[in-house]
Amino acid sequence: MVTQVALFSTPVPNTNSQTSEEFEASANTLVSELNPRFTQLNAAISEVNQMSLNAEAAAGELANAAWVSGTTYAAGDIRYSPLDFYSYRRKTNGAGTTDPSLDPTNWALQTRTTYGGSDTTSSAVDVNLTSSSGRLQLIAMTASGKRVTLPAANSLQKGANLFVISNTGDYRFDVRKNGGVFVCYVDPGKVVAFSCADISTAAGVWAISGERIETIYSGNTAEVLNAVDSRYIAVAMLSATKAICAFKNNSTGFMDAVILNYGSSSGTPLQISAEAVRNITIAALSSTKAVAVYQVNSGSSDIKGYVLDVSSNTITPGLVKTIVTAAGASGANGASLATLSSSKLLLAYMYSGASTIKERVLDVSGTTIAENSEVDADASSFLTTSTPLLLARAISATKALVTFIGSSSQMTLRLQTITGSTPAPSGSVLSIITPGTSLAVAFSVCVLNSNRAVVFRSVDRKYGAIVAYLIDISGTTPVLIASKNIALDFKEDAVQVLATKLDSGRIYMTWPGGYSLGADAVVMKITSDDRILIRSVSERLEPGITAAFGYVACESLSSSSVMQVCRNASTFLSAKTVEIG
């Protein structure tokens, strides 16, 4: 800081306005104040001169010193990049062979650039942007399945880091953060703005804006896991990169299971049951253990289950356990598992010999399933169809939600309390009438947290739609808060809706039977003030899927990835990880 020179407090002597005595006194005072100020001025002038010399030296260094590969630099040294000719300051002591413009870990950009410029690119390969790329990117891909990677955020300066990407070609492409995390698609003709709000990491935090931006990535290649007709598909998450799938091998009629991996090859399907099955449900107890339950398809109507131990891609089933013995060949016609803890599950089920939904807690120890006493989940009668129309969902280790279709096709919800190994209905039932709903349409339930759940059901109108019901589950009785009709233009009159929780405010929802002739999907946002918001629909995540019960299943692996499994166009079991931006 330059030495400060004090202000004069005495007025300048003036013969026109002062007497001779006043003039003499003022002059004497002024002279006495000049001496210390001369000292201060001399010091300030010396400091300014030195700053000028320093500035000239720094300017000379900036103008002439290029970065040299392999040279050791001290933290604070400044060199310009031979690639982009911008100046960079060294962050750490050391040497390197990476140009400063490509090495944000060790070098910080010093040159203040304007936020402008544009680049026009036509490319058959992926495009990687850098900090010096034009802020307007006019990109035309000449091949499908390509992507644009945003610059490393920690190579950008503080301030308004904005990139605007316009797709001027005929192929859509996806945009990803530095490091590979999916952000969104840019469709032909669309313009999307990408604003970086955090430059502390290479990935950064990016906000996007534009019209109808698609944030579900469907470009991952599906794995085809067998060559047989596969039905009654069910899937459960084991970890952020692994899921387990159980399904009916329609060639043998038996239940098979397979490990599905995100980022590496999946396993090989293994036959689990030795009898014909239908209505399969599966739930994970840990990253290495799951339980699969099914209804016997012929000869009896029992509900049976297996404990499945998992090691890498290997599944080891325990002994089969008969959980429910039902009278008559028509017997049970639906079951649903919900995980309460690492050793307890709630099983809700229905069978034609009973008039109400039943439930019981299953205790699991090692490879053994112990079924506890059967109780009524609700006193209401249920709708008897060939399609399972009930779901159990855990809210906590001691609370669950059982949802089913009543005898008049109404949605019926009842909360359950679990004391030890005994479930019991609490409060009162909630019934929701959905006009025009086909009796055979399955539905989905997603528990977001201990206070909120969402129920989805499609309606069989001329142009298909899904209705979402937001439910308060904080008390002993479920309460309807809000509902939203989502017009989605199904090809079928009504379809099976599947949903899985991404986080406490977002849900991934998918369905077969859209006009895309495949499985479509959308992300739904539930706001803190109980608003239901819908993002842009993604079409044809998997083509050629028949709109039938048990042909599609999904389960979230994390807040940004979902394992989606289906009976593909060839009727075979197919799985892919869907990324969520």
Query: What rounded mean pLDDT belongs to the chain?
Result: 88
- Domain C-terminal end among 471, 495, 519: 495
pLDDT tens for each residue of 322-359? 999 874 445 557 899 999 999 999 999 987 777 899 99
Provide the pLDDT for residue 329: 47
3-state secondary structure 461-524: CCCCEEEEEEEECCCCCCEEEEEEEEECCECCCCCCCEEEEEECCEEEEEEECECCCEEEEEEE
Three-state secondary-structure class, residue 441: coil
Is residue 399 within 8 A of residue 376, CB to CB? The reply is: no
Model confidence at 61: pLDDT above 70: no
Model confidence at 18: pLDDT above 70: yes
Residue 48, number of CB atoms within 10 A of its CB: 12
Say if residue 303 is in the same domain as residue 289.
yes
Q: What is the DSSP string of 157-174?
A: PSS-EEEEEEE-SSS-EE
Say if residue 104 is in the same domain as residue 122.
no
Three-state secondary-structure class, residue 443: strand
Say if residue 102 is in the same domain as residue 234.
no
Provide the pLDDT for residue 442: 72
Within 13 Å and on the Cβ side, how many CA atoms surround 330? 7
Say if residue 93 is in the same domain as residue 151.
no
Say if residue 350 is in the same domain as residue 483.
yes
| Band of pLDDT at residue 151, cut at 50, 70 and 90 | very high
pLDDT tens for each residue of 362-399? 999 999 999 999 999 999 988 877 777 899 999 999 99
Say if residue 130 is in the same domain as residue 99.
no
| Band of pLDDT at residue 53, cut at 50, 70 and 90 | low
User: For the residues 532-545, what does the mean pLDDT come to?
Assistant: 90
Is residue 342 within 8 A of residue 397, CB to CB? The reply is: no
Does 569 map to a domain?
no
Cα dist from 323 to 142, 261, 335, 370, 424, whole Å: 58, 30, 11, 8, 18
User: For the residues 552-575, what does the mean pLDDT come to?
Assistant: 96
pLDDT tens for each residue of 474-509? 999 999 999 998 877 665 556 788 999 999 999 999
Note the Cα 158 to chain centre separation in Å: 27
How far is 289 from 367, CA to CA, in rounded Å?
A: 9
Read off φ and ψ for residue 38, nearest 5 degrees: -60, -40
Provide the pLDDT for residue 253: 96
Does 246 map to a domain?
yes
Provide the pLDDT for residue 8: 64
Percent of the chain residues topping a pLDDT of 90: 62
- Domain C-terminal end among 431, 465, 495: 495
Q: Specify the residue for token string 């039938």.
A: 548
Structural domain including 21 reads: 17-45
Return the CATH number at 411: 2.120.10.10
Tokens (6 digits) for 361: 């807690």
Question: What's the predicted TM-score (pTM) here?
Answer: 0.80
Does 145 map to a domain?
yes
Say if residue 314 is in the same domain as residue 185.
no
Say if residue 292 is in the same domain as residue 320.
yes
Does 428 map to a domain?
yes
Does 463 map to a domain?
yes
Is residue 326 within 8 A of residue 302, CB to CB? The reply is: yes
pLDDT tens for each residue of 24-45? 777 777 777 777 776 777 777 7
Say if residue 230 is in the same domain as residue 304.
yes
- Domain C-terminal end among 28, 45, 62: 45
Provide the pLDDT for residue 502: 97
Residue of higher predicted confidence among 477 and 56: 477
Provide the pLDDT for residue 47: 74
User: For the residues 250-276, what does the mean pLDDT come to?
Assistant: 97
Say if residue 323 is in the same domain as residue 420.
yes
| Band of pLDDT at residue 524, cut at 50, 70 and 90 | very high
Cα dist from 383 to 353, 387, 416, 418, 435, whole Å: 13, 10, 20, 25, 16
How far is 378 from 326, CA to CA, in rounded Å?
A: 19
DSSP H or E segment with residue 314: strand 314-317
Q: How many domains does the chain have?
A: 4
Model confidence at 62: pLDDT above 80: no
How far is 346 from 398, CA to CA, in rounded Å?
A: 10
Model confidence at 132: pLDDT above 80: yes
Question: Across the chain, which distance is largest between two alpha carbons, in Å?
Answer: 131
Does 57 map to a domain?
no
Return the CATH number at 178: 2.60.120
Does 136 map to a domain?
yes
Does 524 map to a domain?
no
Say if residue 188 is in the same domain as residue 230.
no
Q: What is the DSSP string of 105-125?
A: TTEEE-S---S--EEEEEESS
Say if residue 194 is in the same domain as residue 100.
no
